[in-house]
Structure 1
Amino acid sequence: MKVVFLTAGAAGMYCGSCMHDNATARVLRASGIDCVLQPIYTPIRTDETNIAEEQVFFGGIHIYLLQQTPWIRFVPPSLRRILDWPPLIRLATSRAMSTDAAKLAALAISMLKGTEGRQAEEVGRLTDWLDTQMHPDVLVLSNLLIGGALPTIRKRLPNTKIVVLLQGDDIFLDHLPDAARAEAVELCRKLVASVDRFVVNSRFYGDKMAAMLEIPPSKLTTIPLSIDLQHFSPREASSSQSETFRLGYMARVAPEKGLHRLVDAFIELATQQSHSQLTLEVAGWLGENNHAYLESLRQRISKANLSERFTYHGSPSLSQKAEFLRTLDLLCVPTEYEDPKGLFVLEAIASGVPVVLPDHGAFGELVGSTGGGIVVPANDHAALMNGIDRLAKDYSLRQQLVASGIANVVEKHSIEITANRLKQLFVELTSDS
């Protein structure tokens, strides 16, 4: 079976979806499927071996210029191909240029229009490649926002089954200006007819996206979120609690991930005598546009005379991330938005670290499935602080959560399980042709 997996690169930053797509494609290959991982927009950046193709379709520089300066389409395609050269794209995105959804509204809508948009030539190039070189049995897209070409692909490759993963499309759409959002949602709804199956990682997200995009239930499949367990393992169990209690955060350092909420809880707890050994350990990718945000948090911590109990560990590699997690006693990422995935949740639990999370998005289902932590009411400072306080003081409860979490992550959330479920879906779809 031949599968082509289109994954949207996220400029120069680590992206949970990209990393999950890369791991899934790698395991699909190992299972005997001829799987090609093809980047869209930019080369992907992962924290493990990257198996993606070097070439890029809909190169970020190229499609942006086609949108902003349409006359560039009159430049011979052979000359414009330099704009899709991966090293050039990496250079242009190395400083993590802004991807403000509001500013990119016109481009997003044009891309969703497919052959009716300003990137129509690129739609043709991708379709030609699929038709003349790949001949896939199944085409997988990492999100629907890159799906403007699907009606054209459906006409050219009528026997190819089309699967779309929904894993954060709404977050981008919700940041668009109201008029642009309404138009983009309507364009996405029109694409639903070209898709054979949508895959989500939680019932919450399936229900949300089905309502937003008018997806019939027969086109929705839920496959639980997963991670590659070979990279994560807990530290050796101790018979007693250490003096220092390391409260951790591991996600992008950005306001929407809620680090400021965790800092507020940390400051209030750490100034209490019962939490005199509490430290805050933060790791995660930091974009240029969020340096001021991190600095403002440092200043708040400094004013509370807690600077010596706070550390930002930078953006860790895969091995560094695994080691960082093993040093923690508790993980908390109090996101402002309803996260549809939460890979860091599974990574922490697999590393023997219980979690405290807001009860929204997919978090409730992940905690319920693993038993590896607790959830508290979202956007509630007192509830967040009390949840951290409770687990920090109850060593026995933390150990129970660790034992339950590890066992359930292994049983229900390994990347092999996801790959096998996807493989079964591909077989089901292709056997129906």
Structure 2
Amino acid sequence: MTRIAIITAGGAGMFCGSCMQDNTLARSLRLAGADAILVPTYTPIRVDEENVSAGRVFLGGINVYLDSAVPGWGRLPGVFKRWLDSPAVIRFLTRFSSSTDAAELGPLTIDLLQGTHGPQRAECRQLIDYLVDDLNPDVILFSNALLSGIVPDLKTRFRGTVLTILQGDDIFLEGLPQSHRRRAIDLVTENCRSFDGILTHSQFYSGFMSSYLSLPQRMFRQIPLCIDGERIPELRSEDESDERRLRIGYFARICPEKGADLFLKCMDRVLQQRTDCEAVIGGFLPGQHERWFHNCLSASQQRVGAERLRWLGSPADRTSKMELLSQLDLLFVPSPYCEPKGLYLLEAALMGVPALLPQHGAFPERIAELGEGMLFTPGDLNDAAAKALEFLEGSRLSVARKQTLRMTVVDHHNMETTGRQALQTIEAARLNPDRT
């Protein structure tokens, strides 16, 4: 049995698509026969499905921050620092300060990317000791390259395979202040050269990150996105759908890079032309974006009416999320950022809901695979509105087409199938490591 340690980064109490995908990947690999252990760093992860992460948090976010911010913090007694790494303490304290905004994290990012040569050397060595001496896996899989600071030193002690998954690292790096961005990218590139291979979830992102980090394409391999297709609501009947207005919805993290504000602007145009249509917006709203979002929402509601443009908040659990998605006729996420995954597109498709998305990033690959959905010219809200109106002119998807859409997701992305495929890819990387 192959033992795989997956090192994931908690999202400071928020629902994070990468954290959730890491958790589902661990579950999928277990179904495929691997001994997969999910090791959280920074903060405990928050997911809307069964959480299989280990109880202990490494590189605890509070200590990591204080190591950089307070001279001599690393010399404090270990018993006190271990208390601050308690998941309960981290959860409590990050309720009051949970920023993961790259613009505020430039110096800390540089420190972490230096691994055992930076202020967090004690925490980094602790994680290395745990991986090498306690877990002793066959494969260590980092869920992003921003965790790569420990890899050069890890490789001096660990004789197994070390991989990483890239799933949005560039957007964090691009968000760093200019004074730290170039140095951070150079450190990530340098650290990535120590990996035995790099995994992504799309052809697009493999090519993009190969260029972005100046790494050879031969290092990159693809694995599929994993989705738990169990315990999902039944598809709505045509009679149930016909009883309400046509509904276009946004469901993703509420932030500029996902295009929440662009959704509202576009819906202004669509709702003014179609009185039989309404729009809803939901998803996790980070604290740093609350004022921005509510200002945008209020302005749009004043133009089209709050009863036709509603804020649904963030669903508390997976059942509530799927119920929200099932009530849409069309998912519309006008992300200006070139998405590496597009997990929310597959979640909507699982509920029989097609999507309207910009023609960039991983979206063309996803739409082609699903056989349903529409693409618009990136950045062109006139084209997006025209495509939305074109969709509304047609009839709602029949239950048969919704079922076909659902089964396409289930067939290609269920945990059993994707677990086997991911394990095969990992085993191939073990046999043929691709280093620079």
Shorter-chain TM-score tier: over 0.9
Contact between 2:12 and 2:45, CA under 8 Å: does it hold in 1? yes
SS at 2:30 equivalent: helix
CA drift at 1:249 = 1.0
Q: What CA deviation, in whole Å up to 9, does each residue of 1:272-295 have, x standing for no partner?
A: 2xx112111222111222221232
Q: Distance in 1 between matches of 2:360 and 2:431?
A: 37
CA distance in 2: counterparts of 1:426 and 1:299, whole angstroms: 48
Cα distance in 1, alignment partners of residues 167 and 211 from structure 2: 15
Matches within 5 A, 1:217-256: 217-232=217-232, 235-238=235-238, 241-256=242-257
- 2:165 corresponds to 1:156: no
Q: Residue 184 of structure 1 corresponds to which residue in structure 2?
A: 184
Asked whether the 8 Å contact 2:56–2:87 carries over to 1, the reply is yes
CA shift, 1:214, in A, is 2.3
Is the Cα–Cα contact under 8 Å of residues 248 and 328 in structure 1 kept in the other structure?
yes
The amino acid that maps onto 2:119 is: R
Distance 1:399 1:338, change over 3 A: farther
State the alpha-carbon separation in 1 of the partners of residues 297 and 385 from structure 2: 19
Unaligned runs of 5+ in 2: none
State the 1:13 CA deviation: 0.2
What amino acid is aligned across from residue 138 of structure 1 in structure 2? V
Once residues 20 and 378 of structure 1 are traced to their aligned partners in structure 2, the CA distance between those partners, rounded to angstroms, is 26
Higher RCO, Cα 8 Å, sep 6+? 2
Deviations 1:59-116 (A, max 9, x none): 1100100001131112122221111111111012224622221221111111111121
Cα offset, 1:401, TM superposition:
6.3
CA contact 1:167–1:341 (8 Å) conserved in 2: yes
Query: How many angstroms apart in 1 are the aligned matches of 2:350 and 2:31?
Result: 23
Q: What is the DSSP-based 3-state SS (H/G/I as helix, E as strand, rest coil) of the residue aligned with 2:110?
A: helix
Residue type at the aligned position of 1:235: L
Structure 1 residue 303 displacement after superposition: 2.0
Aligned residue in 2 for 1:304: 303
The AA in structure 2 aligned to 1:35 is A
TM-fit CA distance, 1:229: 1.6
Kindly indicate whether residue 141 of structure 2 is the aligned counterpart of residue 140 of structure 1: yes
CA displacement, residues 3-51 of structure 1 (integer Å, 9 cap, x when unaligned)? 1110000101000111111111012123221111100110000001111
Identity of aligned residues (%): 35
Per-residue CA distance 1:123-154 (angstroms, 9 max, x = gap): 11111111211111000110010010001111
1:52 deviation in Å? Answer: 0.5
Q: Cα distance, 1:399 vs. partner?
A: 7.2
Q: Which moved more, 1:231-240 or 1:92-101?
A: 231-240
- What's the TM-score, normalizing by structure 1? 0.94
**Cross-structure match for 1:334:** 334
Deviations 1:193-229 (A, max 9, x none): 2111111111111011001222222211012323222
Alignment size in residue pairs: 430
185-194 vs 140-149, which deviates more?
Answer: 185-194
Shift of the alpha carbon at 1:305?
Answer: 4.4
- Superposed CA deviations along residues 255-302 of structure 1, whole A, max 9, x for unmatched, are 222122111221222122xx1121112221112222212321332233
One-letter amino acid of the structure 2 residue matched with residue 111 of structure 1: L
Q: What is the CA–CA distance in structure 2 between the aligned matches of 1:360 and 1:398, rounded to whole Å?
A: 28
Structure 2 match to 1:420: 420
Q: Partners in 2 of 1:276 and 1:231 — Cα distance?
A: 35
Could you say what the CA RMSD is over the residues aligned between the two structures, in angstroms?
A: 1.9
Query: Counterpart of 2:350?
Result: 350
| Further displaced range: 137-146 or 30-39 | 30-39
Amino acid across the alignment from 2:369: S
Residue 314 of structure 2 aligns with which residue? Answer: 315
Moved more, 343-352 or 70-79: 70-79
In 1, Cα distance between equivalents of 2:158 and 2:244: 63
Q: What residue identity is the alignment partner of 1:331?
A: L
> Equivalents in 1 of 2:231, 2:293: separation in Å?
28
Contact 1:96 1:288 (8 Å CA) reproduced: no
Residue pair 2:224, 2:421 contacting (<8 A) in 1 also: no
What is the CA-CA distance between 1:416 and the residue it aligns to?
A: 2.8
Q: For 1:234 and 1:302, locate their aligned partners in 2 and report how far apart those are by CA, in whole Å.
A: 32
Task: Give the deviation of 1:404 after TM superposition.
Answer: 5.2
The aligned amino acid for 2:172 is F
Q: Is 1:369 matched up with 2:366?
A: no
Partners of 1:36 and 1:52 within 8 A in 2? yes
Show the counterpart of 1:208: 208
2:293 counterpart letter in structure 1: L
1:284 and 2:283 aligned: yes
2:331 partner SS: strand
Instruction: Tell me, yes or no, if the aligned pair for 2:114 and 2:187 is still in contact at 8 Å.
Output: yes
Q: Which residue does the alignment assign to 1:295? A: 294
Paired position in structure 2 for 1:171: 171
Q: Distance in 2 between matches of 1:291 and 1:396?
A: 33
Corresponding residue for 1:5? Answer: 6
Of residues 347-356 and 212-221 in structure 1, the stretch that sits farther from structure 2 once superposed is: 212-221
CA 1:405/1:53 → structure 2, altered by over 3 Å: closer, same or farther? same
Asked if structure 1 preserves the Cα contact closer than 8 Å seen for 2:74 and 2:120, the reply is no
| Offset at residue 378 of structure 1 (A) | 0.9
Q: Cα distance, 1:241 vs. partner?
A: 4.5
217-226 or 197-206, which deviates more? 217-226
Q: Is the 8 A contact 1:338 1:360 kept in 2?
A: yes
2:185 partner SS: helix
Residues 139, 267 of structure 1: alpha-carbon distance in 2 compared, 3 angstrom cutoff: same
CA deviation map 1:318-370 (0-9, x unaligned) = 00011111111111011121111111100111111111011121111111111
Contact 2:227 2:415 survives alignment (8 Å): yes
Indicate conservation of the 8 Å contact 2:31/2:415, yes or no.
no
* C-alpha distance in structure 2 between counterparts of 1:298 and 1:287, whole Å: 15
Tell me the secondary structure at the aligned position of residue 280 of structure 2. strand
Which residue pairs with 1:196 in the alignment? 196
> For the residues of structure 1 that align with 2:20 and 2:29, how far apart are their CA atoms?
14
Alignment map for 1:391-430 (pairs within 5 Å): 391-395=391-395, 402=402, 405-430=405-430
Residues 354 and 401 in structure 1, CA contact (< 8 A), matched pair in contact too: no
